[in-house]
C-alpha cells in the first residue's frame, strides 16, 4: 500500500483506523502523551463489536453484536477500564438445551451427573470420564480432542452440532486447540469464566469507549472509512481494520465467520438466563441471548431476545471469527510478509492480527503497543508493523 505524496504531517500526529476497543485505548494513551490523534470509523458508531445501546422500545441495554462479558486476571487492565466507567460484578453462566433438556455449561460435575442420571463425586466422575474417553494419544482435530477428553456421548450432545453450526465445517476439519481452552470441571462451580475480575459496565460499553475518546487531542470521524493511501507522510497509522483490507485484498479475502442477529421483543421473561445455547443441528441458530439478564441491577417488564446465526462471511459482512484453516493460514503468511515490509503503520487488534481476542487482551495489547510506540519515538527508532505474531 503506497501512501500519496504531497501531504506532510506533523510527527506529533497519529491516525487510527477504527474506533473499537483497541483503537480507543491507543488513542487515549497517545493523546495523554501529547499527540494529536485522528480516529476514523467506517460504521456510524464507536465501540466496534462491543457497542451497546438502549433499546428505544424496552429501555434494555442491547448488545447489538452479541453478548460481551468483561473478565480478566490482569489487574492493570482492570484498573484501566475502571477509569472510564462504573463496573458492576457479574457472574456469567451459560446453559444449553439438548434433547428437550437444559444443562449447564461448561461441562461440570452437574452436567455429567444430570446427563447420565448419576450422583457421582469428583473422583468418581474423573474415573468415569477416563473410562468412556477414547484412547487418542495425540488428537489432531477438534473431534479427536473431544473424544479423548469426554467420550462420544457428551461430545455429540454438547459440541458436535453446535460446532458444525458455528464454524460451518465438520469438527474433524477444525484444530484441536479450539477445544483445549474449554474446561471440564469436576465440581458444581457454574461460572463460565474463572478470572478474578468479572463484571459489566453499569450503562453498557459504549459510554466507556466514549469516555476513552473524550480528550481534547482526539478527533473522531464517524461513518468515515480510512484509505491508507490518504495518510500524510510523517503521520504514523494504527490500523485496526482487517489485515487483508489494508492491502486491498491483493492475496484474496481471509476467511471469517460472520453472525446474523434476529431480535424479538415481548413482555415478561423469555428464558430466565442471559445465554441459552442450542447444540442440536436441526435448530438453525446457535444461541439465544436475553439482554436484560446482563443488567440484573435494572428492572424491566418487557424483554428483548436475540437469536444468533453463524455463516461464512462475504466481502460486505462484518467479520467475527477468523477461520484459520489451511487455506487461510497460507494467505495469512502472505499478508504477514507484506505487513513486515510496510513502514509507518502498526497493525493492532483482532482484525488486523487475524486472531480471536477477548476484550481484556485487546486492551492489554493496545496498552503495550502504545508504550512500545512512545519508547521508539523517544529513541528515534522505527516501530515494527506487527508487534504480535498473527
Catalytic residue among 74, 156, 358, 377: 358
The answer to whether residue 265 is catalytic is no
Element (H, E) at 166: helix 161-167
Residue with cell 489487574: 75
Catalytic residue among 51, 80, 185, 246: 185
CA dist., res. 287 & res. 369, Å (int): 35
Residue 311: which of 179, 169, 183 has the closest Cα?
Answer: 169
Element (H, E) at 143: helix 142-155
Rg (C-alpha) for the chain, rounded Å, is 22
Backbone angles phi, psi at 237, to 5 degrees: -110, 130
Segments of 92-245 assigned E as strands: 94-98, 101-105, 197-201, 218-221, 236-239
5 to each of 20, 250, 297, how far by Cα in Å?
Answer: 29, 22, 54
The answer to whether residue 118 is catalytic is no
The answer to whether residue 287 is catalytic is yes
The answer to whether residue 308 is catalytic is yes
The answer to whether residue 8 is catalytic is no
The answer to whether residue 358 is catalytic is yes
Catalytic residue among 28, 257, 350, 364: 257
The answer to whether residue 189 is catalytic is no
Catalytic residue among 308, 324, 354, 364: 308
Concatenating the DSSP letter of every residue in 323-378 gives: ---HHHHHHHHHHHHHHHT--SEEE-HHHHHT----HHHHHHHHHHHHHHHHHHHH
Catalytic residue among 44, 181, 282, 316: 181
Catalytic residue among 51, 205, 287, 360: 287
Active site residues: 181, 185, 257, 287, 308, 356, 358
Amino acid at each position: 500500500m503506497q501512501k500519496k505524496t504531497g501531504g506532510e504531517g506533523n510527527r506529533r500526529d497519529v491516525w487510527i483506523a477504527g474506533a473499537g476497543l483497541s483503537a480507543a485505548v491507543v488513542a487515549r494513551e497517545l493523546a495523554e502523551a501529547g499527540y494529536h490523534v485522528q480516529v476514523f470509523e467506517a460504521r456510524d458508531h464507536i465501540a466496534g463489536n462491543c457497542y451497546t445501546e438502549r433499546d428505544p422500545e424496552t429501555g434494555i441495554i442491547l448488545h447489538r453484536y452479541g453478548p460481551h462479558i468483561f473478565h480478566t486476571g490482569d489487574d492493570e487492565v482492570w484498573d484501566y477500564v475502571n477509569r472510564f466507567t462504573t463496573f458492576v460484578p457479574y457472574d456469567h453462566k451459560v446453559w444449553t438445551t439438548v434433547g428437550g433438556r437444559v444443562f449447564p455449561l461448561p461441562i461440570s460435575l452437574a452436567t455429567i451427573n444430570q446427563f447420565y442420571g448419576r450422583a457421582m463425586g469428583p473422583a468418581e466422575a474423573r474415573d468415569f470420564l477416563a473410562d468412556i474417553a477414547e484412547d487418542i494419544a495425540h488428537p489432531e482435530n477438534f473431534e479427536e480432542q473431544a473424544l479423548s477428553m469426554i467420550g462420544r456421548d457428551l461430545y455429540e450432545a454438547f459440541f458436535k452440532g453446535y460446532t458444525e453450526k458455528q464454524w460451518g465445517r465438520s469438527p474433524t476439519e477444525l484444530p484441536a486447540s479450539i477445544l483445549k481452552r474449554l474446561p471440564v470441571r469436576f465440581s458444581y462451580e457454574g461460572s463460565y469464566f474463572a478470572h478474578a475480575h468479572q463484571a459489566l459496565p453499569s450503562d453498557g460499553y459504549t459510554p466507556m469507549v466514549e469516555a476513552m475518546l473524550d480528550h481534547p487531542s482526539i478527533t473522531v470521524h464517524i461513518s468515515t472509512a480510512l484509505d491508507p493511501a490518504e495518510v500524510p507522510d510523517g503521520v504514523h497509522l494504527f490500523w485496526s481494520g482487517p489485515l487483508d483490507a489494508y492491502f486491498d485484498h491483493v492475496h484474496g479475502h481471509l476467511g471469517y465467520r460472520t453472525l446474523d442477529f434476529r431480535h424479538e421483543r415481548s413482555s415478561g421473561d423469555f428464558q430466565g438466563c442471559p445465554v441459552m445455547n442450542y447444540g442440536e443441528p436441526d435448530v438453525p441458530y446457535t444461541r439465544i441471548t436475553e439482554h436484560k439478564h446482563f443488567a440484573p441491577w435494572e428492572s424491566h417488564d418487557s424483554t428483548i431476545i436475540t437469536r444468533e446465526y453463524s455463516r461464512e462471511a462475504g466481502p460486505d459482512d462484518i467479520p467475527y471469527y477468523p477461520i484459520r484453516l489451511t487455506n487461510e493460514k497460507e494467505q495469512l503468511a502472505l499478508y504477514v510478509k507484506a505487513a513486515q515490509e510496510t513502514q509507518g503503520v502498526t497493525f493492532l487488534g483482532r482484525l488486523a492480527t487475524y486472531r480471536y481476542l477477548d476484550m481484556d487482551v485487546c486492551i492489554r495489547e493496545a496498552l503495550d503497543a502504545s508504550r512500545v510506540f512512545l519508547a521508539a519515538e523517544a529513541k528515534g527508532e522505527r516501530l515494527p508493523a506487527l508487534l504480535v505474531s498473527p
